[in-house]
A and B are shown apart, each in its own frame.
Chain A
Amino acid sequence: MSDPEKTTFQNAKFGEVSVGRDEILTFPTGLPGFERCRRYGLVALEEEAPFLRLLSMDNPSVGFVLLNPLLVWADYNPQIGTEDLEGLEITSSEELGIYCIVTLSPVPQQVTANLKGPVLINTRTQQARQMILVDERYHTKHSILAAGQASSQG
């Protein structure tokens, strides 16, 4: 029986995916390179925690893996301009969610996180955008495993 509170969509990998209203994110201008995909389901699979799936509701073959960067880089501190926050209508820090997009690889050492282009979410309105940092400390390929090993040793 389908839950009226849930929205279903198709995904190439997971088949029919069902999400609640609070799991739907809207990117008003899409993501760079994927401008036409505006609505995404943010799906947390228990067996993949702490990674999350950001699955396009508009294109079954578009999906990303997200990670809260602070879990790996506790000192991650992107300079987010007031204009970016205003664009998302974020008025307090509690409303701000930050994720980074993970680029997978068969070689675990080569799985990287894009810290240059974090995904910002207004957790109140469920609106999101990928911002591009000017910050030179961050680039698009930070090895997750290397950072994870460093932080567990330290």
Chain B
Amino acid sequence: MLVLTRKAGESIVIGNQVRITILEIQGRQIRLGVEAPGDISVHRGEVYERIVQENQMAIQEGEAELKALRQALGGKKSKS
């Protein structure tokens, strides 16, 4: 991992399209500004990990599970 030391107001540039600027340092928190083109998505690490985890859980392809859910949904709807 490349480790760089930066001060507030300074930035780093990744490739020729991404710039990350240290906007503000306050105690244990740092505000970052990210400039990147629209096709590069930027996420908080922990939120991204949650989506990865959910996707990995979602690849099971149960026909039986889907059928049971549809029946449960259909059953309730026909009663109302």
Contacts and interface: CB of A to CB of B under 8 A. Distances in A.
Q: Do A and B come from one complex?
A: yes
Interface string A1-39: 000000000001100000000000000110111100000
Interface string B10-45: 000000000000000000000000000111010100
Q: In terms of DSSP, what is the predominant structure of the interface of chain A?
A: mixed
Given A117-B51, A130-B51, A86 B66 contact: no
Chain B, interface size category, equals: 20 to 34
B38 A140 contact: no
A149 B77 CA distance: 7
Given A105-B65, A148-B73, A152-B76, A117 B38 contact: no
Interface string A33-75: 1100000000000001001010000000111110000000000
B59 interface: yes
B59 A63 contact: yes
A103 B38 contact: no
